[in-house]
Amino acid sequence: MTVDRLLPDQDAKDLIELTRDIADKELARRVDEHERAETYPEGLFATLGAAGLLGLPYPEEFGGGGQPYEVYLQVIEELAARWAAVAVATSVHTLACFPVAAYGTAEQRERWLPDMLAGRIVGGYSLSEPQAGSDAGALTCRAERTEAGDYRITGNKAWITHGGIADFYALFARTGDRISCFLAPGAAEGLTFGRPEEKMGLHAVPTTSAHWDGAVIDGDRLIGEEGQGLQIAFSALDSGRLGIAACAVGLAQAALDEAVAYAKERQTFGKRIIDHQGLGFLLADMAAGVDSARATYLDAARRRDAGLDYGRQASVAKLVATDTAMKVTTDAVQVFGGYGYTREFRVERYMREAKIMQIFEGTNQIQRLVISRHLAK
């Protein structure tokens, strides 16, 4: 089903049309092949970049789309409805641009943002470590200042979406007692990446560890002040988790659409299964879940666009949307009966892809922690 969106203006409508066109022509055609073969879709991010989809919420003066978050997230949702891994990687790239866009100096923005926002270079976000995921403040990767004013990086990072492929990483490392943020290059002497993790889903985009063995990066790659890293990481994640909420809604919408189409075709006891009330109501609950989840991320996005606090709402959106995606994709498998449990239909993949949405960019337990801390203030 084409989602009938309430969009703020004609520009936004044109952008959604463009996204749907690219999603139909470039994503839908390649998704099954790459997800099954676990191969990276070479050239696809260059196509998305050339179409202007890799820098949408950032200022036009640096080549961004100048779009409100409300619109950017609906673009992410449209991509996710066709190919979750590509939508997640697009959201992570946008997250990786955030430190320079929001905390970089004028010189850093001018130097890096145009290539980042045009997608000529693609980014990753490197906060997590093997022993520090939810507890990001416990990270141990070190950045030591050299006599020349550069930084020597030593330590292990984990779970990097686009690891080994990205041209740059928003890297978080300890400078003394506190954590700092760097725009690290994707290639440096002393930087190596692990083999791609063997994941349950999102097979087309690699997730790897990174090993920094004393690699030296230029001093002007520090973003913000020394010690400001966790503040930058968490404010980036407030925005990033909205991207994951939008991915989850796109995935849930795709599962719902395929379940409805199947339920109109499949017959049991002499009628279409959608006409059995038990199954029709299951589909109704799925539709209510998708609409409600979309409303939560749009509410948070509109608050962000209006300059209001939105951290609590972003956590609510991530929690609601990803739990909904897990439920809706699981129910979609149910609608397909035994066929849903086979790889012949996409719903089994959607169910596997939904699971990670409850885990990354802050698990849903951590979202509850954030929400409860807001309530306790």
Ligand X SMILES: Cc1cc2nc3c(=O)[nH]c(=O)nc-3n(C[C@H](O)[C@H](O)[C@H](O)COP(=O)(O)OP(=O)(O)OC[C@H]3O[C@@H](n4cnc5c(N)ncnc54)[C@H](O)[C@@H]3O)c2cc1C
Active site (catalytic) residues: 361
Tell me if 160 contacts ligand X by CB under 6 A.
yes
- Asked if 356 touches ligand X (CB under 6 A), the answer is yes
Which residue, 27 or 356, is less far from ligand X as judged by CB? Answer: 356
372 lines the binding site for ligand X (CB under 6 A): no
The residue (of 174 and 294) whose beta carbon lies closer to ligand X is 174
What's the one-letter identity of residue 127?
Answer: L
Choose which of 67, 90, 91, 126 interacts with ligand X (CB under 6 A). Answer: 126
Q: Which of 40, 58, 159, 182 binds ligand X (CB under 6 A)?
A: 159
Told to check if 63 binds ligand X by CB under 6 A, we report no
Q: Mind spelling out the 3-state secondary structure of 125-185?
A: EECCECCECCCHHHCCCEEEECCCCCEEEEEEEEEEECCCCCCEEEEEEEECCEEEEEEEE
- Min separation Cβ 135 and ligand X, Å: 6
Minimum distance, C-beta of residue 161 to ligand X, in the bound complex (Å): 3
- Minimum distance of ligand X from residue 326's CB (angstroms): 14
DSSP element (H, E) containing 192? strand 191-193
CB 141 within 8 A of CB 274: no
- In terms of Cβ atoms closer than 10 Å to its own Cβ (0-12, 13-18, 19+), residue 37 is exposed
In angstroms, give the least distance from the CB of 248 to ligand X: 14
How far is 350 from 333, CA to CA, in rounded Å? Answer: 9
Interface with ligand X in residues 188-207 (CB under 6 A): 199, 202, 207
> Counting contacts by CB under 6 A, is residue 268 touching ligand X?
no
Site size for ligand X (CB under 6 A): 22
Tokens of 316: 């609510």
Region near ligand X per CB under 6 A, out of 36-44, 101-109, 125-133, 316-324: 125-133
Cβ-proximal residue to ligand X, closest one: 133
Task: Figure out which of the listed residues 235, 355, 363, 374 binds ligand X, where binding follows CB under 6 A.
Answer: 363
Query: Residue 107 in contact with residue 119, Cβ under 8 Å?
Result: no
* Gyration radius of the chain over CA positions: 21
How far apart are the C-alpha atoms of 205 and 125, rounded to whole Å? 14
The residue within the footprint of ligand X, chosen from 76, 127, 274, 286 (CB under 6 A), is: 127
In the complex, minimum distance from the CB of residue 25 to ligand X, in angstroms, rounded to a whole number? 27
Q: For 338-359, b where at least 16 C-beta lie within 10 A, e where not — what string? A: eebeeeebbbbbbbbbbbbbbb
Residues near ligand X, by CB under 6 A: 92, 124-128, 133-134, 159-161, 199, 202, 207, 356, 359-361, 363, 365-366, 369
